[in-house]
Amino acid sequence: MTSDQGSKAQILSGVRVLDFGRYIAGPFCAALLADLGAEVIRIEKREGSEDRFIQPIVPGAAAGEGGEGAMFLQVNRNKRGLTLDPMTETGRGIVRRLVESADVVVANLPPSTLKSMGLDYESLVEVKPDIILTMVSAFGHGGPYSERTGFDGIAQAMVGAAYLTGYPEEPVKSYAPWVDFGTASLSAFGTLAALMERARSGKGQIVEGALLSTALSFFNFHLIEQDLRKVNRVAIGNKSPYAGPADIVQTKDGWILVQVMGAPLFKRWAKLMGEDHWLTDPRFKDDSVRGDNGVLLSNRTSQWAAQYTTEEALAMLEKARIPAGPVLSPQQALDDPHINAMHYLQPLAFPGLPKPAPIMETPVRLSRTPGTLRDRAPLLGEHTNEILTELGYTKDEIAAFRAEGTI
């Protein structure tokens, strides 16, 4: 990010967001809004919410001394931090004053919990008629699972994604929490749409994201196929049932993923493999049957790749314009020349860490008004006094709140 880009007025300047989120989906939604210039206030428990300490950088360390987790550092950048117990009478009064000053409330909590905290939509509009409530839950509201709690992996499991990942004897969920980050991104998209609509109508509304609905959306075409064809597919490792060759294969010194889809790519692959006669073989006449015969195609690719180093194999595949890439460890990803040349990972210092943390920038780049990483995640309650003072509370009132355990 250049200084010129960072100095430009940002899209959401002047928008205030209250982030009552936990873990990933709610907080990352709010972080994306913060990247675009919104003022986001992260509100958490007095002792620190549980998601602050997942995957701690310095195990056993306290908050502010490196005990914060990697996830927290990523999804809470660009926010100010406030501690608050919203379940007390005093706390609910502070929530009301916060809401009066806000444009958006982000909360990933069950409906009953939202109501008890005064964060349900009916309670919010009594305080701020044009408020936008962005709700993120595991299962959405209105069905028999609405009050259940859930995480990313549960949604992966419930839509068929884990069933078709890995091998038939053991379903596998993705290590990357794609449901959480997908839900966060879609919720931010919905919040932006609601802000645009409010600019025309003057009215707020509810934006509802759910882990299950995100997982269903991302996995939908597989469900369409099952419903209409009843194919009853099972997991086949890294192969594709829809085309081939598509697999992770071993080289002399590592692993690569090769993906071929469509006749032009298959023609180039067959030429590279020295198997031009397979172009007239009925077993490989189109993507569908190539998927059915993927084991043969994977075996041939494996034989070919075993002769070369990863660098050599990838160079030959690139020359043939066949999509392929290395299977990198996390450290190799950090060291990758392209990732570094693109400046995707921005260094942000945080108290107690041995060095700045590599935080991924806003994953969509805008040429004139880009999102920016301006500030690290907040320390526990770092801006509590500052925010309450802005809301009109006096030093004595703030001291009393602290003494009684509200903040």
CA 325, CA 295: separation in Å to the nearest integer?
20
Q: Which residue has the higher pLDDT, 2 or 336?
A: 336
Q: 249 by DSSP, 3-state: which? A: strand
pLDDT tens per residue across span 221-248: 999 999 999 999 999 999 999 999 999 9
Residue length, the chain?
Answer: 407
pLDDT tens per residue across span 12-35: 999 999 999 999 999 999 999 999
Q: How far is CA 111 from CA 139, 183, 288, in A?
A: 11, 17, 45
**Residue 51 covered by a domain:** yes
Q: 195 by DSSP, 3-state: which? A: helix
pLDDT at 8: 60
Verify cis geometry, omega within 30 degrees of 0, for the bond prior to 264: no
pLDDT at 4: 44
Q: Which domain holds residue 380?
A: 16-218+344-404
Is the domain of 210 the same as that of 288? no
Is the domain of 354 the same as that of 206? yes
pLDDT tens per residue across span 95-117: 999 999 999 999 988 778 888 88
pLDDT at 372: 96
Decide: 73 and 369 in contact? Cβ < 8 Å.
Answer: no
CA 138, CA 148: separation in Å to the nearest integer?
7
Average pLDDT in the chain: 95
Decide: 101 and 16 in contact? Cβ < 8 Å.
Answer: yes
Q: What is the CATH number of the domain that holds 262?
A: 3.30.1540.10
pLDDT tens per residue across span 121-178: 999 999 999 999 999 999 998 999 988 889 999 999 999 999 999 999 999 999 999 9
Q: What is the CATH number of the domain that holds 87?
A: 3.40.50.10540
Check pLDDT > 50 for residue 5: no
CA 363, CA 218: separation in Å to the nearest integer?
18
**Residue 4 covered by a domain:** no
CA 39, CA 391: separation in Å to the nearest integer?
14
Share of the chain above pLDDT 70, in %: 98
pLDDT at 141: 87
Is the domain of 196 the same as that of 276? no
Check pLDDT > 90 for residue 344: yes
Within 274-341, residue ranges assigned H as helices are: 287-292, 294-305, 310-319, 330-335, 337-341
pLDDT tens per residue across span 245-262: 999 999 999 999 999 999
Q: What is the pTM of this model?
A: 0.93
pLDDT at 84: 96
